[in-house]
């Protein structure tokens, strides 16, 4: 009994001395891991947060710079002004008015139109040449405005953690930074090589016809353009629209359904073919 009475405190003392460094080490390790996990969680939270309007503009500016570097702008002040007039008219109908919409013509025979986050919208010389009237051009531009208003590209960016890696670095937001280069590169591959989700294309169509109709154009301008685009690409015309977008027949069927349901037949609305021909003479001549 005496032996046990002596042994018990000795064992406790011995155990305390033996365990102290190990326990401290293990506790420190747990704390360090917890701290690291918290930091990682904060980084993930930041990386998945919606982009601010300023961040959106930075990314869009980089995408726009790459498009300009690749295609070059079509330098024609009168045409640029005209495209901006049509674009501004349809963009005034867009849900998102916190960003400015800007329009420019790319010097390319291909039949394409692009929209970058932040409201940078481009249409190629080839696409303008394919249009028959202003209502068609309005339909094309309105579709692109629809992508921006629907935040279609932004949603991809916001979902992709890897793309946003490095955004917290101090120089990340400088034009040409590795972060903006990677981000804009990813957007261009998605837009042009892989295509956006079909649901986003249908959504841009729906928004587009709504903006066109809302601004006084016939709602079917985009439909008529798509039919001609389909024919042009079958005859060898270059366009990523037919390659990466849902089939024209499917898109037009959806558009027609909306026009019928909404009673947007608009047979008496101006297509403005004469003004279009006059304003786009330089493109038609070059094409």
Partner 1 sequence: MKLRFQFILLAVLGALLASVAVPSAPAQDQPQPYQQQEQQKSEKDQKKKKKGGFFSGLKAVAGQSSEQQGETATAGTKGVGEGEEIGNAQPSSADRAAVTAMENYSLPQGDVKKFQTDGKLKAGK
198 binding partner 1? (CB under 8 A): no
Q: How many CB atoms lie within 10 A of CB 226?
A: 25
Please select the residue that binds partner 1; options are 56, 59, 74, 89, rule is CB under 8 A.
Answer: 89
19 binding partner 1? (CB under 8 A): yes
Which residues ranging from 139 to 158 are in contact with partner 1 (CB under 8 A)?
Answer: 156
What gap in Å lies between CA 93 and CA 95, rounded to an integer?
7
270 binding partner 1? (CB under 8 A): yes
Non-local CB neighbours of 97 within 8 Å, separated by 6+ positions: none
How many chain residues interact with partner 1 (CB under 8 A)?
A: 71
Please select the residue that binds partner 1; options are 152, 182, 207, 245, rule is CB under 8 A.
Answer: 182
Which residues ranging from 210 to 239 are in contact with partner 1 (CB under 8 A)?
Answer: 214-217
What gap in Å lies between CA 31 and CA 34, rounded to an integer?
5
256 binding partner 1? (CB under 8 A): no
Least distance CB 108 / partner 1 (angstroms): 11
By CB under 8 A, which span of 82-90, 143-151, 226-234, 255-263 interacts with partner 1? Answer: 82-90
What residues pair up with 120 in beta bridges, in sequence order? Answer: 102, 116
Non-local CB neighbours of 245 within 8 Å, separated by 6+ positions: 195, 198, 201, 251
Please select the residue that binds partner 1; options are 35, 37, 70, 281, rule is CB under 8 A.
Answer: 70
What gap in Å lies between CA 79 and CA 224, rounded to an integer?
22
44 binding partner 1? (CB under 8 A): no
Query: How far is CA 4 from its chain centroid?
Result: 77
Which residues ranging from 236 to 255 are in contact with partner 1 (CB under 8 A)?
Answer: 240
Which residues ranging from 98 to 137 are in contact with partner 1 (CB under 8 A)?
Answer: 100, 102, 104, 120, 134
173, 180 contact by CB (below 8 A): yes
Please select the residue that binds partner 1; options are 53, 68, 129, 273, rule is CB under 8 A.
Answer: 68
Decide: residue 270, CB within 10 A, 0-12 exposed, 13-18 middle, 19+ buried.
middle
């Amino acid at each position: 009994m005496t032996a046990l009475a002596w042994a018990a405190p000795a064992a406790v003392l011995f155990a305390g001395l033996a365990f102290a460094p190990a326990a401290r080490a293990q506790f420190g390790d747990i704390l360090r891991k917890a701290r690291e996990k918290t930091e990682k969680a904060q980084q993930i939270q930041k990386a998945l947060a919606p982009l601010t309007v300023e961040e959106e503009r930075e990314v869009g500016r980089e995408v726009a710079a790459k498009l300009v570097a690749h295609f070059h702008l079509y330098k024609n002040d009168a045409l640029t002004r005209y495209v901006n007039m049509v674009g501004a008219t349809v963009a005034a109908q867009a849900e998102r008015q916190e960003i400015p919409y800007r329009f420019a013509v790319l010097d390319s025979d291909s039949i394409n139109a692009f929209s970058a986050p932040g409201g940078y919208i481009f249409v190629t010389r080839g696409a303008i040449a394919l249009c028959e009237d202003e209502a068609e051009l309005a339909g094309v531009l309105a579709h692109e405005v629809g992508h921006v208003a629907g935040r279609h590209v932004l949603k991809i960016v916001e979902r992709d953690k890897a793309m946003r890696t490095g955004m917290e670095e101090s120089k990340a937001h400088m034009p040409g930074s590795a972060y903006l280069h990677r981000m804009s590169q990813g957007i261009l591959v998605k837009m042009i090589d892989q295509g956006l989700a079909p649901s986003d294309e249908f959504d841009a169509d729906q928004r587009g016809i709504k903006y066109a109709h809302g601004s006084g154009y016939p709602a079917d301008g985009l439909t008529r353009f798509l039919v001609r685009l389909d024919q042009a690409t079958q005859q060898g015309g270059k366009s990523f629209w037919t390659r990466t977008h849902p089939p024209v027949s499917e898109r037009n069927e959806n558009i027609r359904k909306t026009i019928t349901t909404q009673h947007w037949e608009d047979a008496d609305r101006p297509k403005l073919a004469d003004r279009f021909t006059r304003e786009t003479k330089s493109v038609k001549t070059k094409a």
